[in-house]
């Protein structure tokens, strides 16, 4: 079987609808509003984002994952990362997170931080695999449903 070839590139404006579809492919997770995606992804000065593409059956690039993050001073914050549910567990999230960490280091961030629902075991496992550590908690951080968040951090070594 041919190994999955994943290409990570910077987001373009035309990618937003596909990004929203990917986030919505996880039916049981709560979702950002469409407006939040348009606001964040249209703000070039503020947020960095990457998408992951594979080739579809017609050898055309198809976006199957994304990561949205923001670097301020020495802290890089991951806002959201998702892989289309039908392509989960194929190493695509891994490529996206590697790219985000690499870009954060390149732009002189010293750590990467994120929040995750305490019940989101797959994502927590995914972050632990990258050596993120639980650095704290935020009470009732999420709505729909209300839930606490873990704050997770990764120190970037040069």
In the structure encoding, which two tokens stand for residue 60, read together? 């055309």
Q: Which is nearer to ligand COA, 2 or 45 (CB)?
A: 2
Pairing of strands 111-117, 75-83: parallel
- Number of residues counted as binding ligand COA (CB under 6 A): 20
Report whether 99 contacts 135 (CB < 8 A). no
Report whether 131 contacts 154 (CB < 8 A). yes
Q: How far is the CB of 150 from ligand COA (least distance, A)?
A: 9
Helix, strand, coil abundance in the chain, percent, nearest 5: 30, 35, 35
Q: Which is nearer to ligand COA, 29 or 135 (CB)?
A: 29
Site residues for ligand COA, window 97-136 (CB under 6 A)? 116, 120, 122-123, 125-126, 129
For residue 22, the SS3 value is helix
Q: How far is the CB of 158 from ligand COA (least distance, A)?
A: 24
Which positions touch ligand COA (CB under 6 A)?
A: 26, 29, 80-83, 88-94, 116, 120, 122-123, 125-126, 129
């Amino acid at each position: 079987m041919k190994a999955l070839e994943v290409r990570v590139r910077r987001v373009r404006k035309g990618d937003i609808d596909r990004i929203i579809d990917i986030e919505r492919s996880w039916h049981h997770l709560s979702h950002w509003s469409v407006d939040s995606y348009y606001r964040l992804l249209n703000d070039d000065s503020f947020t960095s984002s990457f998408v992951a593409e594979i080739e579809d059956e017609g050898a055309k690039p198809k976006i199957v994952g994304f990561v949205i993050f923001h670097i301020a001073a020495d802290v890089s914050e991951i806002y959201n990362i998702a892989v289309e549910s039908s392509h989960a567990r194929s190493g695509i999230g891994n490529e996206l997170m590697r790219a985000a960490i690499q870009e954060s280091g390149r732009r002189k961030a010293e750590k990467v931080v994120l929040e995750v629902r305490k019940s989101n075991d797959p994502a927590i496992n995914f972050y632990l695999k990258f050596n993120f550590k639980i650095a704290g908690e935020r009470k009732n951080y999420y709505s729909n449903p209300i839930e606490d968040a873990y704050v997770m951090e990764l120190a970037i070594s040069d």
